A and B are shown apart, each in its own frame.
Chain A
Amino acid sequence: GAVVSQHPSWVICKSGTSVKIECRSLDFQATTMFWYRQFPKQSLMLMATSNEGSKATYEQGVEKDKFLINHASLTLSTLTVTSAHPEDSSFYICSARVNPSRQATPYGYTFGSGTRLTVV
């Protein structure tokens, strides 16, 4: 099936530093990547949609200068949390749009394994 590899799985960083999260599609081309944030015991909230080769579209209330998304290739999308603060501590997970005709892909969406970010 279509697999998205997300790294790192967890990261601890100091307040004020930047953290980069990578989502790499291993055996398919991900033209679209969705980035979600999940606070403890809450739902997945869409942060932004990125399409290969173009600027990401951010959801209302998400600071695009703080959460930099790059989708420069068909196999790699990155989310950089710049000048991280403790309130940015959360679980970040990417989801790639996959051609639904591809076998063993759950109806067009495949998720990375998530990144747990802790800012101290």
Chain B
Amino acid sequence: AQKITQTQPGMFVQEKEAVTLDCTYDTSDPSYGLFWYKQPSSGEMIFLIYQGSYDQQNATEGRYSLNFQKARKSANLVISASQLGDSAMYFCAMREGLPGNTPLVFGKGTRLSVIA
């Protein structure tokens, strides 16, 4: 079974509008962390936002917010006021267990295109 599922291969959004990128995860470990990364065409992985499994509040970082619904095992990324520079691939990732020497597992990604 896939650990991270991103069901939207591609999304379009009008500039200045908000967009939600979906992510569901699967783990039986009570301790885990969820990450969102942006990957432009250059290939670098740009960290956007993090949500820990024990965090009570949804994470926010500037225009990025994470809609964390633990019971539904979803961690959707919300980008407000989209900009042309937001066009990129977006990956949801998970760390299982407590912080330690465990790798991140990535979803298949969503390609976001912002339209002027």
11 contacts between A and B (CB under 8 A): A34-B103, A42-B108, A43-B108, A44-B45, A44-B106, A93-B43, A95-B103, A100-B99, A107-B33, A107-B47, A116-B43
Would you call A95 and B109 a contact (CB within 8 A)? no
Q: How far is the CB of A16 from chain B (nearest CB, A)?
A: 26
Instruction: List chain A residues, Cβ under 8 A from B108.
Output: 42-43
Chain A positions near chain B (C-beta within 8 angstroms): 31-32, 34, 38, 42-46, 49, 51, 91, 93, 95, 97, 100, 106-109, 111, 113-114, 116
Which one of B43, B47, B101, B106 lies within 8 Å of A51 (CB-CB)?
B101
Would you call B104 and A109 a contact (CB within 8 A)? yes
The A contact surface, by secondary structure, is strand
Would you call A46 and B103 a contact (CB within 8 A)? yes
Which one of B50, B91, B105, B106 lies within 8 Å of A107 (CB-CB)?
B50
Chain B positions near chain A (C-beta within 8 angstroms): 33, 35, 42-45, 47, 50, 91, 95, 99, 101, 103-109
Would you call B101 and A113 a contact (CB within 8 A)? no
Of A31, A49, A107, which is in contact with the most chain B CB atoms at under 10 Å from its CB?
A: A107
Nearest opposing residue in chain A for B33, CB measure:
A107
Instruction: List chain A residues, Cβ under 8 A from B106.
Output: 43-45
Would you call B45 and A43 a contact (CB within 8 A)? no
Q: How far is the CB of A12 from chain B (nearest CB, A)?
A: 16
Would you call A95 and B50 a contact (CB within 8 A)? no
8 A-B pairs closest in CB distance: A106-B47, A114-B43, A111-B45, A34-B103, A107-B50, A32-B101, A44-B106, A43-B108
